[in-house]
Structure 1
């Protein structure tokens, strides 16, 4: 693509629209999280099954778009003033999220969420800015492999949890560590590189999305993605909170919530009969051993506490024996 063409690109409507769609999807997911938090949905439902994969697909789309935008904005040379202004704003917003969630949900506060990742990824991406698309894809593949296979115990240190290599998953309402997620940014960079080389970017820059229903609104929030991200969740929480004052969620015992969450998680790998037996055994044994409350609150897990691991093994054996 020629320099004269590049100077005419400006904003690509389809990218703004796609980013807007991702923000809408994110708001839908966060609304379900709010409903769960206030007791209107079963405990743990947003962290398992379809909603878990929905959340991951949203995070993936954002990070791919980050990679695309970095290349389109800086592939002919880093525009330092715009780059530094943007990364500073994102870093400050990430810090604000950490502070707010630390006071709102201290046990699961956000210490390295999507904004933290974008800030760090924007710095790390500078290393790969001039790499060809094929090399970026190869590095992304390696990044995913390391993130999925390499879990040295040393990375369980709280100071290193941002890396994503800990064998024990930390408790956080939004956790998007460097491994494997930076691989998505690299894929976005590779896609943008290939699109520039093939002329796809030039074609998209000339294409209007105005005939698409709702495109104007989606493009608007896509152009103002950071403020939309920061504002939408407090607004949604406020709405659900006010609703809960008028129509409170039904009271559900911790044991029932644990059973429902356990059964949902178990059913992804085993049959209903086995899961019912396993989860019932887990509740009874954990309660008898005085561990239930700590497990329910997420203070200990089978990965972090050998007593919980022993209960899991015992109940797995008993459920299997009963199934036979």
Structure 2
């Protein structure tokens, strides 16, 4: 998401900033789509669609790879401790701000270890690998990336250890970039940059300055990636909230949102998928028949409506007993 600043003796490489700017554009596209889904302005559930989830992971991976690259480039001729600590404090402070803001806005899914939290920790953990043998760094990068696919344990499901990424079930949060496997991507960036520095001629392409307005704009954004990240999502949420007040949800958005939420709650309670599908379908149809659907979707229900919703769902559960 961001980079470690260089001293005046280490000029920026425009193509690295351009790459970071392209990642910012991809991130903005994903967040815009997520916001549309969150406000039910589109029928697609972005957070649950495999294609969108893969897109989000590729974006996160590109930022973290560039973190590793930037750490190496910043350490050419020696890392400036003062500059590194200033940037680290800025990123860590921004991460804390994100946690506080999302805890207020989304208390059930607030961000406790997202992309900025990871960058702050990874920037510290990667320091020894700036001088370690490249082959050792490459092996450790592969091991870190592979570990959670082969090993998880309930001990890491404790809240204090969820940041590791080794819990059997991932937590409910709007942005989750745990240490494993993502630190492996940062180390891969370290390896790639150190290999490139071993052949200086191969870095000349990165010194080229874009000549188009679009290219220059991307470089400008790449230089200010942290601020773009912090500002763009609140702006998108505010604008789309206003749009949602005027347009209301897409015709089928509420149906999909309810179906997903109901299915998740039902299966997490121990019921099988076949029962949950029948139960959730019955509940949706009955709530619409009873005139409770609009109040439920808007969250504007009084005590009488809540009691009736409980009666309707109890009736559906009795009409569809578990096998």
Q: Deviations over 1:124-157 (max 9, x none)?
A: 0112110233222111111112121110110010
* Structure 2 equivalent of residue 236 of structure 1: 236
Is the CA contact 2:10–2:74 (under 8 Å) kept in the aligned structure 1?
A: no
Give the structure 2 partner of residue 173 of structure 1.
174
Shift of 1:208: 2.4
* Structure 1 match to 2:115: 114
Distance (whole Å) between structure 2 residues aligned to residue 253 and residue 137 of structure 1: 45
CA contact (8 A) 1:154 1:166 kept: yes
Find the aligned partners of 1:175 and 1:204 in 2 and give their Cα distance: 34
Inter-partner Cα distance in structure 1 for 2:50 and 2:280: 25
Shift of residue 87, structure 1, vs aligned partner? 0.3
Matched, 1:19 2:20: yes
Is the counterpart of residue 283 in structure 1 residue 277 in structure 2? yes
State whether residues 40 and 254 of structure 2, in contact with CA within 8 Å, keep that contact through their aligned partners in structure 1: no
Give the 5 Å matches for 1:237-316. Answer: 237-250=237-250, 256-259=256-259, 281-285=275-279
Measured in 2, the distance between the counterparts of 1:54 and 1:171 equals 19
The equivalent residue for 1:322 is none
Cα distance between partner residues in 2 of 1:57 and 1:226: 18
Gap change, CA 1:221 and 1:253, over 3 Å in 2 = closer
Aligned to 1:149: 150
CA distance in 1, matches of 2:83, 2:262: 48
| Structure 1 residue runs of 4 or more that deviate by more than 6 Å after TM superposition | 260-263, 286-289
User: What is the CA-CA distance between 1:201 and the residue it aligns to?
Assistant: 5.4
Aligned to 2:135: 134
Kindly indicate whether the alpha-carbon contact (under 8 Å) linking 2:16 and 2:206 is maintained by their aligned counterparts in 1.
no
Select between 39-48 and 174-183 the one with higher mean Cα deviation.
Answer: 39-48
Deviation at 1:27, TM superposition (A): 0.5
User: Offset at 1:42?
Assistant: 3.4
Check whether the contact 1:42–1:260 (CA below 8 A) recurs between aligned residues. no
Question: Whole-Å Cα distance in 1 between the matches of residues 247 and 44 of structure 2?
Answer: 18
Q: Distance in 2 between matches of 1:224 and 1:189?
A: 21
How big is the alpha-carbon RMSD for the aligned residues of Structure 1 and Structure 2? 2.8
TM-score using structure 2 length: 0.77
Cα distance change of structure 1 residues 145 and 206 upon mapping to structure 2, 3 Å threshold: closer
Aligned to 1:305: none
Q: Secondary structure at the match of 1:112?
A: coil
Deviations 1:201-247 (A, max 9, x none): 54134422224x51011001100000000000001001101111221
The aligned length equals: 272
- After TM superposition, the structure 1 stretch with the greater mean CA deviation from structure 2, 236-245 or 169-178, is 236-245
The residue number in structure 2 matching 1:226 is 226
Q: Partner of 1:214: helix, strand, or coil? A: helix
What is aligned with 2:4?
Answer: none
Instruction: Describe the superposition over 1:241-272 as per-residue Cα deviations: whole angstroms up to 9, x where unpaired.
Output: 11112211146586643546899xxxxxxxxx
| Distance change in 2, residues 1:240/1:254 (3 Å) | closer
Query: SS of the residue aligned with 1:107?
Result: coil
Residue 56 of structure 1: aligned partner: 57
Once the two structures are TM-superposed, the CA of residue 172 in structure 1 deviates from its matched residue by 0.4
Structure 2: runs of 5 or more not aligned: 1-6, 264-271, 284-319
> Is the CA contact 2:111–2:175 (under 8 Å) kept in the aligned structure 1?
yes
Check whether the contact 2:41–2:250 (CA below 8 A) recurs between aligned residues.
yes
Distance 2:233 2:194 in 1: 34
